[in-house]
Structure 1
């Protein structure tokens, strides 16, 4: 998947360079038409450069170093004259130069064989588009997470208050993103609806996307639709299925909303098991309680979740209802 994006970006850079050269040619033609002397200057500079190169190869001049210095002085004088002409006619002195979108890498994407910052940003933008979270992550991220919706009072039979519990989960999520490359574990968020599971999932997604990781978010129901299309529909994009298996981080939201069929369970197991075997991390969230998961899903799925995921229970008062009352 990453190689596909890199190839797309390199093609974009090639088009940028072609366009920059085309625009430069137009500006040069404009200047030559309005200030003919500059055309003569460019021709003279080119001829001097050719004479220098020829003299170096032929070695038919006694004091070659003095000759080259003299010719370079002529080039400098011509460039000064050109600059003065451009300024006199109201043009910027660099008007005839090629204009790259990124001056650092000159629209190649690389500086000293390393990705330029503009390349890394383009790659991150691709990941954002692929993740299906491009817009929502502007408002749902670690900086906007609000702990005020979680009570500090004891809650039912839980050891921690909802506030202490969510602070623990939040801290774990922050550390998880910071040490993502060192941690080999997946996450499982469970608890009633309206408690911030999806919001915190989005927080994690944004941090990983900003680190240049390939993140894909899908609800369980959409996930099954994608797999069904890939398997059975003609002209389907089979790469979609490979991307689900190969991305750096897969988020499956709302487990339990997918069709309750043997086929769905089989495909869900394949996704989870394949990613576990390939050491690819995931986050699964559900409104079910653990007992519901154990009762409703085949043992081979529950054993993977209980054995390979770090489990976090969300509890407290429904945040959506709290917001509604405040309004």
Structure 2
């Protein structure tokens, strides 16, 4: 899915430029019909500009005086052109190329650096093509319902599952609202069916809608991606996983755990933390299981660099299924 996104985005820019060139040509044809003197002035500006460029390269007497006169003449012609357009109810820039992004001029790049509009196009493309677009139609804050969780405290518990999910939802909103300047990462852990994936998807939708690039991977799929990056040298996939605004790793602990997976997981966690690119990880494991399953280097980052959010209560998916089948 990821492979080929860059070429697709660049094709979008090419199409934009071609569309704007066609629109400019139509505007010129309209002016040629209604105000041909404007195009004549444009031709004169073009000729003077060529002469100016030539004289800049040549050594002539009183070069500076001559060049200033040429520049003044070009300025006068531009003023005449603008006045004619405005007088006839046309904008001054009617015969200029119109760019949808004035920063990169619809190229996607400022020098060798990607323009901010490049990421916006990538976000829309990823969102459209990914499975998330269907999932997030259901898993979003509009469908968030804490009433599904029990209001009763568990034995020995300080708060009820309902109050707990309300607290985590509030923390999730804070994470979204402070996303642009916060360094926070989230670790959702607890038993299956207690809302971890649902809230992860709620966060993903809000950030995607704000124009951030969110990449969702199950732990198993992420390891497969990291294998592809390592052995196939897939630089595009590497760039997106490393530099996305939020990487969501779902169901950590369900992947096949090997020396390779532990090494690559540590590397991706460490590099994302160093780059201050945020992560949200969910797992059915408790903290003791994480310490047993993973190396000390991984565990220390998960437990030391992430805000820990414990989910508990009955499996709401089972409860919803039972309720839907009641007569």
Q: Which TM-score band applies after superposition, normalised by the shorter structure? A: 0.5 to 0.7
The answer on 1:124 being equivalent to 2:123 is no
Supply the RMSD in Å over aligned alpha carbons.
4.6
Paired residue secondary structure (2:254): coil
Paired residue secondary structure (2:238): helix
Cα distance 1:122–1:138, how it changes in 2: closer, same or farther (>3 A)? Answer: farther
Paired residue secondary structure (1:253): strand
Quick check: 243-252 or 282-291, which moved more?
243-252
Give me the TM-score of the superposition, normalised by structure 2: 0.68
Alpha-carbon distance, 1:225 to partner = 0.5
1:278 match = 275
* 1:235-260 CA distance string (max 9 Å, x none): 55233124322322211111012112
Alpha-carbon distance, 1:276 to partner = 2.4
Q: Tell me if structure 2 keeps the 8 A contact 1:192–1:314.
A: yes
2:292 match = 295
Q: Tell me if structure 2 keeps the 8 A contact 1:216–1:244.
A: yes
* 1:163-207 CA distance string (max 9 Å, x none): 100000000110111112332231110112222111111222223
Paired residue secondary structure (2:217): strand
Alpha-carbon distance, 1:294 to partner = 2.1
Alpha-carbon distance, 1:13 to partner = 4.3
Q: Tell me if structure 2 keeps the 8 A contact 1:186–1:283.
A: yes
Alpha-carbon distance, 1:160 to partner = 0.9
2:229 match = 230
Cα distance 1:23–1:265, how it changes in 2: closer, same or farther (>3 A)? Answer: same
Alpha-carbon distance, 1:17 to partner = 3.4
Distance 2:244 2:138 in 1: 24
Cα distance 1:194–1:125, how it changes in 2: closer, same or farther (>3 A)? Answer: farther
Q: Tell me if structure 2 keeps the 8 A contact 1:205–1:215.
A: yes
Larger Rg: 1
Paired residue secondary structure (2:216): strand
Segments of 5+ residues of structure 2 without an aligned counterpart are 47-65, 67-80, 89-93
Give me the TM-score of the superposition, normalised by structure 1: 0.68
Distance 1:7 1:286 in 2: 35
Cα distance 1:323–1:121, how it changes in 2: closer, same or farther (>3 A)? Answer: farther
2:314 to 310, 313, 317: 317
* 1:88-117 CA distance string (max 9 Å, x none): xxxxxxxx9899796x9699469xx9xxxx
The answer on 1:326 being equivalent to 2:320 is no
Cα distance 1:300–1:20, how it changes in 2: closer, same or farther (>3 A)? Answer: closer
Q: Tell me if structure 2 keeps the 8 A contact 1:230–1:241.
A: yes
Q: Tell me if structure 1 keeps the 8 A contact 2:191–2:311.
A: yes
Alpha-carbon distance, 1:20 to partner = 3.2
Q: Tell me if structure 2 keeps the 8 A contact 1:9–1:122.
A: yes
Distance 2:27 2:138 in 1: 43
Matched ranges for 1:1-327 at <5 A: 12-13=12-13, 15-22=15-22, 25=25, 108=105, 123-130=119-126, 132=130, 134-135=132-133, 136-232=135-231, 236-324=233-321, 325-327=323-325
Distance 2:213 2:261 in 1: 25
Distance 1:304 1:107 in 2: 38
Cα distance 1:10–1:220, how it changes in 2: closer, same or farther (>3 A)? Answer: closer
1:88 match = none
